[in-house]
Amino acid sequence: MTTYAANFGAFHIRRWYAQVQEIWAGETGAAADGAPVFKYMIGACIKNPYAGQFVEDLSGWIDASPELGVEIGRRLNALSGNAKIESYGKAILVGIDGEYEHGNALLTNPAANPIRDAVGGGASWVPSTGKRGVPGTILDIPLGHKDALYVRSHYDTMSVSFDDGPNRDEVIVCWAFATRGRLNARLGGLRAEDAEGNGLT
């Protein structure tokens, strides 16, 4: 396995990714009930030093992950023009020489808390998912309201893919964000404007 020098804190990052979706109408063509939905994705393709082996202690990646969170938050705000974010989610795509657990080391609270700070706080836990895959794999990143889990209008997904990653010994860590809930959401439940953000509810 080839070793590469770190170029971002403890990490060797090969590529950063950014994607934007601007949604003006629903799947049947119904116009937006208000502003369009903007969805943003920020991701990084990172060399996996644990690829091909079982390593008991993954704390090296966990302890270094806040720096990734800070940069993801910075890039989000630059991409969105500091847009108000209402929902978020996170995911990992692990190259096939790695373990799913390797990627999950980059999704814990130490990495998430700087991103919460970047979006003006987030009382809710962050929906997450992931899998092992190859370049071109479609990854569905779940979205939920950043301050309350039971805001049904904000249950959503951003589907992304990467044409050149991950290589077998890489991990892509990515976050998705949205400026509002689904267009024309009409399933009832807690409304976004009533979410108090008092804790992980």
Residue 125 lies in a domain: yes
pLDDT at 7 over 50: yes
Mean pLDDT value of segment 90-111: 97
DSSP 57-112: --HHHHHHHHHHHHHHHHHHHHHHTSPPP-EEEEEEEE-TTS-HHHHHTTSSHHHH
pLDDT at 201 over 50: no
Q: 28-33: long-range contacts at Cβ-Cβ below 8 A with a sequence spacing of 24 or more?
A: 30/183, 30/184, 32/183, 32/184, 33/183, 33/184
Residue 6 lies in a domain: no
pLDDT at 200 over 50: no
pLDDT at 186: 87
Residue 26 lies in a domain: yes
pLDDT at 3 over 90: no
- pLDDT tens per residue, range 179-199: 999 999 987 665 656 555 554
When divided into structural domains, the chain yields a total of 1
Report which of residues 148 and 198 the model is more confident about.
148
Residue 5 lies in a domain: no
Mean pLDDT for all residues in the chain: 93
**Range of the structural domain that residue 112 is part of:** 13-193
